[in-house]
Amino acid sequence: MAEVRTRFAPSPTGYMHIGNLRTALYAYLIARKNNGKFILRIEDTDQERYVEGAVDVIYNTLKLVGLQYDEGPDIGGAYGPYIQSQRKNIYAEYAKKLIDLGGAYYCFCSKERLEALREECKKKGIPFKYDGHCRNISKEEAEERIKKGEQYVIRQKIPMTGRTGFHDEVYGDITVSNDTLDDNILIKSDGMPTYNFAHVIDDHLMGITHVVRGSEYLSSTPKYVLLYKAFGWDIPVYIHLPLIVRPDGKKLSKREGDASFEDFYEKGYLKEAIINYIALLGWSPGTDEEIFSLKELEQRFSIEGLNKSPAVFDINKLRWMNGEYIRRMSLEQFNEAAMPYYKKVIKRQNIDFMKLSSLLHTRTEVLSEIPENIDFIEELPDYDVNMYVHKKMRTDLKNSLEHLKKAYEVLQDVQEWDDEHIHDALFKLIQELGVKNGQVLWPIRTAVSGKQFTPGGAIELSSLLGKEETLRRIKIGIDKLSNV
């Protein structure tokens, strides 16, 4: 059996969207599962869409998520160059060969003629299709016109009759009538190839055995199959992936404001969680398992597990999965990951960050949400006094004031300021007062945080803030309640 060779061939347009990363992941997994090679190729023939720095985004993203390619522009290989704009001469050579084989022809139609044809199709309510005006120009005449300086493109010569079919590993057998296919442009007037031509030439010359790409290319694949046949080349295994859609059924799109990989990563989603979640967008392991490391995916992934139904991108599911990954971190790992987010809002020197991490570790789903959950540590917000009223805790403004005053007195006498001693002092007070725990603890939590939701309770927050700051904040609470 020939060595399995897959490729990821992105266009450098500035970001790595989720669909692109999934294509890269599946191509990588197919190669690794079969002890094959995974190749990176940059498809930059559409220079109008080229974004400066975008190639580095591709390199950095693949490196970050652990998709190590075996050949590519920055590491070389036996089939380079791996950047299409550097392969222009190769495409010109193969385009001429294809003309000699009868699979392509020179087209001299002006922009004005093509525009008129386009308008005509529009009036008739039919899709634009080139009318073959230059199909039968002899090679001699074409070469003469080229010598005279006429501008031209090279078009594919699609058979006018018959049918072309291929097998896709996800969608099965697909066959179309050749008369529905357009004689699309293979080489543009500036000498640059189109995607339709370049990727076929490159996939053949680079020995690609499995082509993994989005299902939007399904309808064009018969044209690519005809190119392979015209050259007499083996056709690769096709694996077209289902669309990724939003919950409303619309296609996931950066233009529509949908997040790219970088967006999620910068928001504090873990790269391992993103990759794990993306793996499940169109693939199932055949069990209820959902958490897989990249190494586990390399073993478990199979083409048979892919399905053709659109995959729904559910941000809540990604959040859940990210939370699962965070909980699997050691406390030290979480503290390290959370530190940049702590530093955004906490400037105080006396905060025990490991203690803060122990409070947040199991309560955090996305790292970027940490600052809004801990901003009260640096500065007590100006909160509404009605926050002291809590039906479930049986607190009101009157008993909150009374219990805050008593807690203030008790806490002043605590010598060793830690969870254990604060707990003992407050629970002794609760016992003496003969009230529910919440009637004392809720007012303290409100006073020290000024927030409805906090990463810990009254005892943990008081311990974290330190004795002086805790008493200062309780005093502010007493003053607020006294002035009602």
* CATH number, position 266: 1.10.1160.10
How high is the pLDDT of residue 258? 66
| Domain end position, chosen among 340, 372, 404 | 372
End-to-end CA distance of the chain: 83
Q: Residue 124 falls within a domain, yes or no?
A: yes
Residues 209 and 303 in one domain: no
Residues 197 and 116 in one domain: yes
Which one from 254, 405, 406, 467 is the annotated catalytic residue? Answer: 254
User: pTM above the 0.85 mark?
Assistant: yes
How high is the pLDDT of residue 49? 74
Residues 317 and 220 in one domain: no
- The residue ranges of DSSP E strands in 17-162, in sequence order, are 37-40, 104-107, 153-156
Helical residues (DSSP H) of 346-455, grouped into ranges: 353-360, 370-378, 397-412, 419-433, 437-449
Binding residues for ATP: 254
Range(s) of the domain holding residue 219: 87-241
465 and 417 Cβ atoms separated by less than 8 Å: no
Tell me whether strands 237-241 and 210-214 are parallel, antiparallel or unpaired.
parallel
Binding residues: 254
How high is the pLDDT of residue 256? 63
Q: Residue 415 falls within a domain, yes or no?
A: yes
Which single residue is written with the structure tokens 């720095």? 53
Residue 459, domain CATH: 1.10.10.350
Residues 231 and 98 in one domain: yes
Number of domains comprising the chain: 4
Residue 163, domain CATH: 3.40.50.620
Catalytic-residue membership of 254: yes
How high is the pLDDT of residue 257? 63
How high is the pLDDT of residue 248? 85
Q: Residue 58 falls within a domain, yes or no?
A: no
As given in the structure block, the two tokens for residue 350 are 């006396």
User: Which parts of the chain register pLDDT below 50?
Assistant: none
